[in-house]
Structure 1
Amino acid sequence: MTTWFPEIQRTGAPIYIEIADAMAHDIDRGKLKPGEKLPPQRNLAFDIGVTIGTIGRAYALARQRGLVTGEVGRGTYVRSSEPPLSDVVATTSSYRESTAEPVPDGIHPAPGKLRLDSTSAPEVGQSSFITRHVAAIMADYPDKTTDYIRSLKPEWQQAGQAWLATGGWQPDVASIVPTLGVHAGMMAAIATLTAPGDRVAFEAVTYASLARAANLIGRRPVSVPMTAGGIDVDAFDHLCANQHPKAVVVIPTIQNPTTAIMPAATRERLAAVARKHGVWIMEDNIYGACVDEAPVPIAALAPDITFHLGGLSKAVAAGIRSAWVSCPPAYVRSLPVAHKMLTGGMPFMLAETAARIVRAGEANTIARAVLRENLKRLTMVREILSGHDYRSHDNSPFIWLKLPEPWRASLFVSAARDIGLLVDGDDEFQFSQDQTSLHRVRIAFSTIPSHAILRDALVRLRRLLDAGPSGYDSYT
């Protein structure tokens, strides 16, 4: 048995989490070796000066993270090490990544371009958490990872309840449905609540891929004008009275792409108008995890008519592809069916990985690191683009830039691509031909590999903005 004594970093987190973090650190450094027995909980509690209950919670958290194993009467042991994932791939598969040039498909960009058009979470070390959990899941559930999901685990719903909690509100755990990302959850809700030909209202400038996807399954997206704080509730009231949409989709916290946060009073009025007209509300809170002091969510004001969605892609890791929907009780059974029909179902590995990261407290740890990293990058953006007109938020991974005269959005996007930079013009956030150009572009900065590369990209972007379209031409 080891005489291990944790070196606790006083970060302000609960002491049991700090003990588990110290354990992970010592395992990674080799101070705690695979198969080594940890001190009895009573002994470690006495040595540190905490209660046995605190040590019990720390050991339980370490077990959830896949760090240790334990049996009643035998004690707690450091989990036997697994071979590195790269070694496993090398010995079990003949797959090698091709060195050939990718075939253009009209969707993915040509290689060599810097993505200022993606808002997924930056790399802040989350891969080590994911690797550890995946290895533990393979050890704990070797049969589940090769099979389809037959039922939802309560732990998945508990994780969703914890992650969706915001603004002093927490959803009922029985209302939670795990989904393959927020987009898939939204599509499942739209398919469940509406029929082909029904209208679905969207903010005039929004994540338009969802509106186009709704159109793909026969729904008719309609545009609602906006104010500086988000959707124009008076215009929405008028649209409901005349066009009778069955549902409305809103992004009330860090609206994409405007970065607006819908005021609490507007949320209350929107809920009242939707209720008056019998319209379902779909609240996309994908960026809500990035804001500590957001107003109370619409789901808290009108839980019987609101589908509230949130996921991990912007604050933790997009590759986990996991989200949760809190829905009215009558739809807890039908929404998973629609989700399965549209997506093929939620993979066990992704659902279990996401749940473990959230329930272990690691998702919040990663999210705080992501916020710090994005703020550093935003500070750089503000420095280099100083003097230009744009909307931003301290917790947003993008800005909404107004182009100076005489730039037009489509021309600027083309010019930026020619110098190796991918940005999104305003038409990426509109879904009908009758909408007018705003002469804006969204500049995202979270996925650029390093600060040095980001700085170079922003300097190039600044030069392009200042040069104007007279300095650009496209020869084809």
Structure 2
Amino acid sequence: MTSWLPDISNGSGPLYLRIADCIEAAIASGALPAGTKLPPQRNLAYDIGVTIGTIGRAYALVHERGLVEGEVGRGTYVIDRSERRPDNQNDPVTAALSGTRLSEPPQNKIRFDTTSAPDIGQGQSISQILADIGLELPAEISSYSRVFPVSWSQAGARWLARAGWSPAPENVVPTLGAHAAAIAIITAVSSPGDKIVFEDLTYTQVSRSARLLGRRTITVQSDENGVLPDDFEKLCQQQHPKLAFLMPTAHNPTLAIMPEERRRAIADIARRHGVWLIEDDVYGGMTTDENPLLTALAPDRTFLVGGLSKSVAAGVRGGWVACPAHFAKRIKTTHKMVTGGLPFILAEVCARLVLTGKAAEIRNKVATELARREAFVRSQLEGFEFRSNPRVPFLWLKVPDPWLSGTFKKAAFDDDVLIDDEDEYKASRSENVYHRVRISFSSQRDTLGLAPGISVIRRLLENGSSGYDAEI
């Protein structure tokens, strides 16, 4: 045990960040050598006059920086970095870009951190389509995709159509999933140094990828109904962003659904300030929401992206982007440049799934299964605050005091359950604290398979005192 204490009298910014920086500086100077046990969170909080929550966030941050390691009951220790093999978790640049998930999750954990479509027997339909393609188009399978059949875009137009709107097939580009579509759009319509707007909580794989591309990320404030138009207007006036990435329906992770009036306001602001919009409808397409799509309200500047991974099969990583008129060629070329190109067999499987009606049939079965699971999880977590949607494979759970989302995630991990804390969804460093975690329930075989992990979550929620002991 060390008698070292951080000096937080100097500097500015959040206390937890100052404490984390003090720890990092002490490790670098040798004041905290490898193997040193950091003070217990309660003790340090008392000694320097801050809350235990502040210490918890500081310890979580230095853990994310790859400086310490620890486990419940043992404490937190400074890592001997000279003896550790460099990997995703120890390289601070990679860690900052990759988020809080482990690069290789242990195989013995219950996975509540993935939202791929549940297995409802779709493999049989997909295997039959693959067999048909192999018999009918052997030459195309053995070559590169040099010509895009119109059926690929027709399938995308059908899949993306929703709420009374449908795109023209000539404006639809098939892609390697929704993520690849978003990156192609960002690359095509912005340049290094341009600012991209993200909600404070968002699908951060896109925001991190944007930073890798040299774009700057800025965040807009949201509430339970999505983006706040007044804050979006202010950002546009003061920071002149090039593009905004938004999820108006079934937002990930909050599940917010933006009302029509607010959508119209966002579309109007984007038009007046010349801001491009990416509308991520991956989860929205699974819902019954009838609010108009942003692309229906601002078709001249909105790119709508969607795919099959959440509602049909993640192993068939296909998707589409509906572009403003005359942009399809640019997006198709950019997508090829940033991804290496679209495999023929992937695009053909996706197109046939949609055009034969199999994709819609699978999506309906997936929705039925998700509704069954959501009802089960809802019953098991009764009495606690969370947001869910019967057709979306996750819920947004508030952890009671004294839990922090990071310490709750760590405690769940120690009980063999993988979940996502709020930091996994923060587009940039933020002082906003939500005390929320995302619990996904699509990867287990059935509701029976959910029971052990949900039991762990419930026990941790009921045993708040564990929040004081979850050393990070």
Q: TM-score normalized by structure 1?
A: 0.77
Counterpart for residue 341 of structure 1:
337
Cα distance in 2 for residues equivalent to 1:471 and 1:253: 33
SS at match of 2:198: strand
Cα distance in 2 for residues equivalent to 1:287 and 1:471: 32
Runs of at least 4 residues off by over 6 Å: none
Q: CA deviation at 1:289?
A: 2.1
Q: Does the Cα contact within 8 Å between 1:246 and 1:280 map onto a contact in 2?
A: yes
Matched, 1:141 2:137: yes
Cα distance in 1 for residues equivalent to 2:448 and 2:300: 48
Determine which of 238, 242, 248 is the counterpart of 1:242: 238
Deviates more, 1:180-189 or 1:433-442: 433-442
Structure 1 unaligned spans of 5+: 1-102
Cα distance in 2 for residues equivalent to 1:292 and 1:474: 40
Cα distance in 1 for residues equivalent to 2:468 and 2:443: 27
Structure 2 unaligned spans of 5+: 1-85, 90-102
SS at match of 1:318: coil
Q: CA deviation at 1:104?
A: 8.3
Counterpart for residue 390 of structure 1:
386
Cα distance in 2 for residues equivalent to 1:396 and 1:384: 17
Q: Does the Cα contact within 8 Å between 1:112 and 1:420 map onto a contact in 2?
A: yes
Q: Which amino acid aligns with 1:252?
A: P
Q: Deviations over 1:118-144 (max 9, x none)?
A: 111101111001000001111111121
Q: CA deviation at 1:336?
A: 1.1
Q: Does the Cα contact within 8 Å between 1:399 and 1:442 map onto a contact in 2?
A: yes
Cα distance in 2 for residues equivalent to 1:408 and 1:463: 16
Q: CA deviation at 1:215?
A: 0.3
Counterpart for residue 110 of structure 1:
106
Counterpart for residue 214 of structure 1:
210
SS at match of 1:255: coil
Q: Does the Cα contact within 8 Å between 2:113 and 2:418 map onto a contact in 1?
A: yes
Cα distance in 2 for residues equivalent to 1:283 and 1:157: 18
Q: Does the Cα contact within 8 Å between 2:196 and 2:215 map onto a contact in 1?
A: yes
Q: Which amino acid aligns with 1:190?
A: I
Counterpart for residue 191 of structure 1:
187
Cα distance in 1 for residues equivalent to 2:321 and 2:133: 24
Matched, 1:168 2:161: no
Counterpart for residue 283 of structure 1:
279
Name which structure has the greater RCO, CA cutoff 8 Å, separation 6+.
2
Q: Does the Cα contact within 8 Å between 2:407 and 2:470 map onto a contact in 1?
A: no
Determine which of 223, 226, 240 is the counterpart of 2:222: 226
Q: Which amino acid aligns with 2:242?
A: K
Q: CA deviation at 1:236?
A: 0.2
Counterpart for residue 270 of structure 1:
266
SS at match of 2:266: helix
Q: Deviations over 1:375-417 (max 9, x none)?
A: 1000011111000011112222111111100000111111111
Determine which of 252, 255, 261 is the counterpart of 1:256: 252
Q: Which amino acid aligns with 2:460?
A: L
Q: CA deviation at 1:330?
A: 2.5
Q: Does the Cα contact within 8 Å between 1:427 and 1:437 map onto a contact in 2?
A: no
Matched, 1:179 2:189: no
Q: How does 1:318-467 map to 2 (within 5 A)?
A: 318-467=314-463
Cα distance in 2 for residues equivalent to 1:471 and 1:407: 5
Counterpart for residue 31 of structure 2:
none
Q: CA deviation at 1:323?
A: 0.5
SS at match of 1:342: helix
Q: Does the Cα contact within 8 Å between 2:109 and 2:418 map onto a contact in 1?
A: yes
Query: What root-mean-square deviation, in Å, do the aligned CA atoms of Structure 1 and Structure 2 show?
Result: 1.5
Counterpart for residue 12 of structure 1:
none
Q: CA deviation at 1:296?
A: 1.3
Paired residues, number: 374
SS at match of 1:238: helix
Distance 1:195 1:382, change over 3 A: same
Cα distance in 2 for residues equivalent to 1:160 and 1:302: 19
Counterpart for residue 466 of structure 2:
470
Q: Which amino acid aligns with 1:420?
A: D
Q: Which amino acid aligns with 2:264?
A: E
Determine which of 299, 302, 306 is the counterpart of 2:295: 299
Counterpart for residue 12 of structure 2:
none
SS at match of 1:373: helix
Cα distance in 2 for residues equivalent to 1:192 and 1:159: 23
Distance 1:104 1:433, change over 3 A: closer
Q: Does the Cα contact within 8 Å between 1:404 and 1:465 map onto a contact in 2?
A: yes
Identity score, percent: 43
Q: Deviations over 1:314-343 (max 9, x none)?
A: 111111100000001221111111111111
Q: CA deviation at 1:472?
A: 7.1
SS at match of 1:463: helix
Distance 1:145 1:419, change over 3 A: same
Deviates more, 1:321-330 or 1:274-283: 321-330
Q: CA deviation at 1:163?
A: 0.2
